[in-house]
Structure 1
């Protein structure tokens, strides 16, 4: 189903009309917003054909998954963004895909989002009796996409601090697995943010950037700074998690080394004792010490001296 909102300049009001009633020629003051969230593939193609969208733009716009990008043709611009739809960073099911085709009068939006609250934020608001320019809607959507990351990144800072305290006091394999899961999610969203940051970074340094045809320089800089800050925050949190993982691995490795050191010392002490016991346990007739009435005690004394001497040697070397 195609949801079409049409601003009629003569009545100065918004109307929801069917796609068939859309005028062939739009007046200069008319505004059109086509919401294709619930449209079928056939209806999407019908809309794209109606506005003569270039095949390359139409193909990218229709895809369910596409990396963030900006592409411009003479009449329409294509902007693809990705928001974060999951409640936190413990899982990454899918992004909120925001596909926008816009001109000075027309906005065609296709938003695929599993979160009802985020979907509401990604829906432009139309005030009764007010004629908003299309770039205001696009600006609202860009800010909503950046906000979908910012809110969760700010909340994650407290989670990370608590996790760091727990790891320093009583680290566990369960917390280690949680940190690895967080790192995986942050790495994925970091890629999305890098794409989106580069879109606006390129616009800042290109004098003829297509974004500057619709947005002012301060607006584009604001978009870039928001996504650059988000990208830096994910880098920072990822590095902090990596430090915690490495710290836990180092602590675990140190604990294992301490246990192995104790086992090694015990083995080193008992090796000569085992040798003496094995030597006099051999079944040979001619072993001189077998006929010595005090041979048993001499053997025990030798074992005791070797064992205690080994302990003193380890203590002298500060090995324990």
Structure 2
């Protein structure tokens, strides 16, 4: 189903309805928002063809999952963004997919998100229409999108600090599993942020960027800095988590080496003792020492001296 909201400049009021109420021509001072969230593919194609959208833009807009991008034609600009829709970074369900096609009078949107709160924030605030315009709506959506990452990244700073302390005091496999999940999520959102950062970075280099038709360089710089900050924070947190993994593996390896050293010392001490015991455990008839009255005590003493000498030698060399 297609939802249509039309601001009539003569009455200064919003009219809500369906596609049948779409005016054939949108006046220059009117504003039109077409919400295609619940529209079928055929309905989406019908609306986009009504406004003469190029086929390649239609294809990109209709796709359920599309990486962030910005592309324009004579009257319309396609802007695809992704917001972070999960509560935290312990799991990654799906991004909020934000597909926008807009001109100076018309906004066509398709926004999907499993987070109802974020979805509500991404909707244009038409109650402010008397002072706002399409560019203001797009600006609001961009800021909400960047905020969906930044707010959670700022809150994650305390969590990663606690995680570092926990790993230092009582690192275990459960914490390692949590760290690996965090790394996986951060790697995925880092790609989304990299795409979006490039969109606004290219706007400064390309004089014909479609974003320049709706935003000045100061606004574009603000968008870029917000996305770039989130992107830098994901890089920093990913590196911190990687350092924790390396530290845990190094500590675990060191502990294993210490245990192996103790086992090696014990084995080295008992090898000569086992050798002596093996010799006198042989069942030969002619073994002169077997007839010695103090043979048992001499053998035990030799084994004790050998063990003590071995321990003293390891201590002297600093191996124990």
What TM-score does the superposition give when structure 1 sets the normalisation length?
0.98
Provide the residue aligned with 1:281 in structure 2. 281
- 1:171 Cα deviation (Å)? 1.1
**Cα distance between partner residues in 2 of 1:216 and 1:269:** 79
Is residue 295 of structure 2 the alignment partner of residue 263 of structure 1?
Answer: no
Moved segments of 4+, more than 4 Å: none
Provide the residue aligned with 2:290 in structure 1. 290
Provide the residue aligned with 2:223 in structure 1. 223
Secondary structure, counterpart of 2:126 in structure 1 = coil
Contact 1:273 1:306 (8 Å CA) reproduced: yes
Unpaired runs of 5+ residues, structure 2, are none
Provide the residue aligned with 1:113 in structure 2. 113
- 1:288 Cα deviation (Å)? 2.3
CA RMSD of aligned residues (A): 1.1
Contact 1:31 1:131 (8 Å CA) reproduced: no
**Cα distance between partner residues in 1 of 2:171 and 2:21:** 65
Secondary structure, counterpart of 2:269 in structure 1 = helix
Contact 1:68 1:82 (8 Å CA) reproduced: yes
Q: Please list the CA deviations of residues 192-227 of structure 1 after superposition, one character each: whole Å capped at 9, or x if unmatched.
A: 000000110111122222211111000111111111
- 1:80-99 aligned at under 5 Å gives the runs 80-99=80-99
- 1:131 Cα deviation (Å)? 5.1
- 1:46-85 aligned at under 5 Å gives the runs 46-85=46-85
**Cα distance between partner residues in 1 of 2:64 and 2:129:** 34
- 1:119 Cα deviation (Å)? 0.4
**Cα distance between partner residues in 2 of 1:132 and 1:62:** 27
Contact 1:14 1:128 (8 Å CA) reproduced: no
**Cα distance between partner residues in 2 of 1:132 and 1:58:** 27
Contact 1:13 1:129 (8 Å CA) reproduced: no
- 1:157-168 aligned at under 5 Å gives the runs 157-168=157-168
User: Structure 1 pair 222/56, CA: closer, same or farther in 2 (3 Å)?
Assistant: same
What TM-score does the superposition give when structure 2 sets the normalisation length?
0.98
**Cα distance between partner residues in 2 of 1:280 and 1:234:** 68
Aligned length: 320
**Cα distance between partner residues in 2 of 1:139 and 1:285:** 101
Is residue 177 of structure 2 the alignment partner of residue 187 of structure 1?
Answer: no
**Cα distance between partner residues in 2 of 1:25 and 1:208:** 27
Is residue 191 of structure 2 the alignment partner of residue 178 of structure 1?
Answer: no
Provide the residue aligned with 1:132 in structure 2. 132
- 1:286 Cα deviation (Å)? 2.2
Contact 1:7 1:131 (8 Å CA) reproduced: no
**Cα distance between partner residues in 1 of 2:311 and 2:51:** 89
Provide the residue aligned with 1:309 in structure 2. 309
User: Structure 1 pair 294/128, CA: closer, same or farther in 2 (3 Å)?
Assistant: closer
Provide the residue aligned with 1:237 in structure 2. 237
- 1:25 Cα deviation (Å)? 1.2
Is residue 102 of structure 2 the alignment partner of residue 102 of structure 1?
Answer: yes
